[in-house]
Amino acid sequence: MKQLIKRELIALWNDPWQLALVSYIPLVGIFGLWWLFSAGLPRELPVAIVDQDQSQISRMLVRRLQANSVITPIHYQDINSAKASMESAETYAMVVLPFQLNRDLLTGHQPTIDIRYNSQYLLVGKLLSSQIQLSLADGLKSKALLKQLAAGVPMAQAEVNLNLVKTQVSALYNANSNYVVFLLPPILLALGQLLAMLVFANSLNRELRQETMTEWFSLGTRRVLWAKMLVYTPLIVLQGRLILTLLYQYLGLPLAGVFGQLLLAQIVMLLAVWLLVLTIFFLLQDAARVISFCTALFAPAFPFMGITFPTQEMPQLAQWWRKLMPSSHYIDTHVGVVSYGQDFAVFVQQVTSYWGFLLLVPVIVVLARRVRREWSAEASTQPMNEAP
């Protein structure tokens, strides 16, 4: 066994791309994606303001918008130029403060403030819509308070009248709705799964490329596979540990459970990935096609995890496809450990959801035997062809 592990390590050392996949590429990837989202909380997003009233109250409302950390108001002279700025994504929303807003308010009419937000950029648009409404409503409240006071309502009562039903909202498990907490774990998991798939597929493909398949079979099919798993599983889990360290120790994101379960869950996930890659490898037996197929399978893992778009809202077909992805099984454990601090019994239950992958084992055995026969047939015919 030692000999086989050494064989694997030497091969790793002699393949610069494989070496890159287990060393600096994960580092660059993890750091780059974290840097991309490092702002965490959306802020100072440009919003077009068309102030047609130019009154004291319209300016007060703009100041309220300015005071919101998410919004940066940018003034436009007319609606058309504001619209053009929205169409070219220079601003993500626009607020039209209508002509005679102040006068209508004073004379008891009901003016309308129009808000348009860019829902093509859904995340930004929805956030701005709620923030703009919050800020404006708050500004209008202070106006209504004055009105009540003028009508002779005592201060204490007037305030209650305005906020009869107060709300207290808690975002559980992610107190300030931070996008780093929300998006970074599934994204890095998707990246980690891709790296794991590539590393393992490359180590299998190497035997094809260097035509060492017969050597592999003579060394013992299973023993070489065990050696590969023993070399690559710890290397990939190390990357997983690095991701966990970055997220929950260096960045200090909230963590309710313990790492132990997560590392175990990563090992189980990797075994499932290995099984999928092995099936494809023995089925196709061509380096470029193996990679293409694995890519097709694993590339869209992220949307199927169910973090950005909830699982139970997906069509049935998508939910089945989701079960094919080891990462979607892992993410349930991840959320459970990180947010709910689940105990070990729940984890054991989650691991049983991988049972479907075990069906691949007999398939792999059959395919491997077939490949082995083909290679031995080729090895025995070749000398005969060359002999005469």
Partner 1 sequence: MDFWSLMWADFKSIVTDKAIAITLFGGVLFYSVLYPLPYLHEVPTKQQIVVVDGDHSSLSRQLIRHADASPKLEVVAELNNINQAEDWIASGRAHGYMVIPEGFRRDLIRQKGVTLAYGGDANYFLIYSAVLEGLVSAGIDAGKYVQFNGLLARGSSAKQVKHDLEPIKLNSVPAFNPSLGYTPYVVPGVLLLVLHQTLLIGAGILGAGQWGREGYWQQVPAMKLIFARVSVFALIYSLFTSFYVGFCNYWYGVSVQGVLSQVVLFLVPFVICTAIAGVAFSCMFTRRDLPTQVLLLISMPILFVSGFIWPFELIPSPLIWIAQVIPAIPSIQGMLQLNQMGASWSSVAGFWWQLWGLALVYLLLAYLGVRYRLNSK
Could you say which residues in the range 31-50 bind partner 1, by CB under 8 A? Answer: 32-33, 35-39, 42-46
Among 47-55, 331-339, 351-359, 368-376, the segment contacting partner 1 (CB under 8 A): 331-339
What token pair was written down for 320? Answer: 């089945």
Q: What are phi and psi of 73, to 5 degrees?
A: -75, 140
* List 223, 340, 369, 381, residue binding partner 1 (CB under 8 A): 340
Quick check: 337 binds partner 1 (CB under 8 A)? no
Stretch that binds partner 1, among 130-138, 266-274, 348-356, 377-385 (CB under 8 A): 130-138
Contact 56, 272 (CB under 8 A): no
Q: Does 352 bind partner 1 (CB under 8 A)?
A: no
Structure tokens at 360: 């691949």
- Cβ-based neighbours of 4, under 8 Å, separated by 6 or more: 219, 223, 224, 226, 227
Residue among 306, 329, 347, 357 that touches partner 1 (CB under 8 A):
306
241, 289, 323, 372: which one contacts partner 1 (CB under 8 A)?
A: 289
Smallest gap from Cβ 387 to partner 1, in A, equals 27
What are 244's two structure tokens? 């966990």
The least CB distance from residue 290 to partner 1, in Å, is 7
* Total chain residues near partner 1 (CB under 8 A): 112
Residue 292: how many other CB atoms lie within 10 Å: 13
Q: In Å, what is the CA distance from 274 to each residue of 13, 269, 294, 315, 364? A: 21, 9, 11, 28, 11
Interface mask toward partner 1 for 255-284; x: CB under 8 A: ------------------------------
Which of 117, 216, 232, 330 lies at the binding interface for partner 1 (CB under 8 A)? 117
Per CB under 8 A, 314 contacts partner 1:
yes
Stretch 188-217 residues interacting with partner 1 (CB under 8 A): 190-191, 194-195, 198, 202, 205, 209
Minimum distance between the CB of residue 8 and partner 1, rounded to whole angstroms?
18
Tokens of 186: 């599934």
- The Cα-based distances of 335 to 14, 99, 281 in angstroms read 38, 50, 32
263: helix, coil or strand?
helix
Selected range binding partner 1 among 186-194, 230-238, 352-360, 371-379, rule: CB under 8 A? 186-194
Please tell me whether residue 7 binds partner 1 under the rule CB under 8 A: no
Residues 73-84 as b/e (b if ≥16 CB within 10 A, e otherwise) read: beebeeeeebbe
